[in-house]
């Protein structure tokens, strides 16, 4: 317990000797995390379902302070995730950091989502995280050390429609992370959920149904014209790991929204309903 409360000591610039896995490492937040970890001296496995993208990230970091390799990984395949964790442990003798970061989104009227789309987001955003935890957590228990970092979202703390399936999955990630943290502390293992507002990544422009425009929605929801920088989020994440924080909520205006949600849930629900009404009116007709 005492060891976990002090944090892992992996923050700042010195990550030499640390071993990390980053899922969804081929782009966006995952690529930024890989860059930050390698710059700090960590030995990083950059895993992505798009191997070519992961290889580009790894190639750009060749000769950096830390080591990096690219591997193909489908996080919906539990056996593949376990095999990767086992391989890293066989190579390095340990696993210090597990970043369950891979994710997808759907945006648009909920009634337009197919069951296949519901299942896809559950498989990646929930089961993908579960598979990472199931593979890495027992290893870390055996080590009596390690840190699991799950990429959630402000959508896991404050709910709004038109991204209902995404909100559901990110609430699940936050809840699982906080619950596991209370259990993991007794084993010397730490858990953090990362909850940013809109981050400048390809996901802002993906997963649209029914004329939904993701970038416009996400920026409007946080009252901003610019998304948060992914590399800045990666540095924030390393600092949160070093401080052993249960949640990382950024930027500052997002922390204000989160506090409002906790203090005045009725008011925030009414404001969200008004926001969704405006967004629904702006849906672009398809066809």
Residues carrying an active site annotation: 166
Instruction: Count the neighbouring beta carbons within 10 Å of the beta carbon of residue 2.
Output: 7
Q: Write out the DSSP string of 161-192.
A: TTSHHHHHHHHHHHHHHHHHHHHHGGGT-EEE
Cβ-based burial of 92 (10 A; exposed 0-12, middle 13-18, buried ≥19): middle
Q: Which alpha helices (DSSP H) does the chain contain, by range?
A: 2-5, 28-39, 51-60, 78-92, 115-121, 128-143, 164-184, 214-221, 230-242, 252-263, 265-281
Sheet holding 67-72, edge to edge: 67-72, 43-48, 19-23, 97-100, 147-151, 190-196, 247-250
């Amino acid at each position: 317990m005492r060891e976990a409360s002090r944090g892992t000591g992996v923050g700042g610039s010195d990550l030499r000797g640390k071993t990390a896995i980053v899922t969804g490492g081929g782009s966006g937040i995952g690529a930024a995390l890989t860059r930050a970890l390698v710059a700090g001296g960590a030995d990083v496995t950059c895993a992505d379902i798009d191997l070519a993208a992961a290889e580009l990230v790894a190639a750009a970091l060749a000769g950096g302070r830390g080591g990096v390799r690219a591997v193909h990984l489908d996080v919906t395949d539990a056996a593949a995730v376990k095999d990767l964790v086992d391989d890293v442990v066989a190579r390095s003798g340990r696993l210090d950091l597990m970043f369950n970061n891979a994710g997808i989104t759907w945006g648009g009227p909920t009634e337009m989502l197919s069951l296949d789309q519901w299942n896809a987001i559950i498989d990646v955003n929930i089961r993908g995280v579960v598979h990472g935890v199931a593979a890495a957590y027992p290893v870390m228990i055996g080590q009596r050390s390690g840190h699991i970092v799950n990429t959630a979202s402000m959508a896991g703390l404050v709910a709004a429609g038109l991204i209902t399936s995404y909100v559901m999955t990110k609430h699940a990630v936050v809840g699982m992370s906080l619950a596991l943290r209370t259990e993991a502390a007794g084993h010397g293992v730490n858990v953090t959920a990362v909850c940013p507002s809109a981050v400048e990544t390809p996901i802002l422009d993906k997963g649209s149904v029914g004329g939904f425009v993701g970038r416009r929605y996400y920026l409007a929801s946080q009252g901003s014209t610019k998304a948060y920088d992914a590399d800045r989020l990666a540095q924030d994440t390393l600092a949160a790991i070093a401080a052993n924080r249960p949640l990382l909520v950024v930027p500052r205006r997002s922390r204000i929204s989160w506090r409002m949600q906790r203090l005045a849930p009725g008011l925030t629900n009414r404001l969200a309903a008004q926001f969704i009404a405006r967004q629904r009116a702006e849906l672009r007709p398809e066809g």
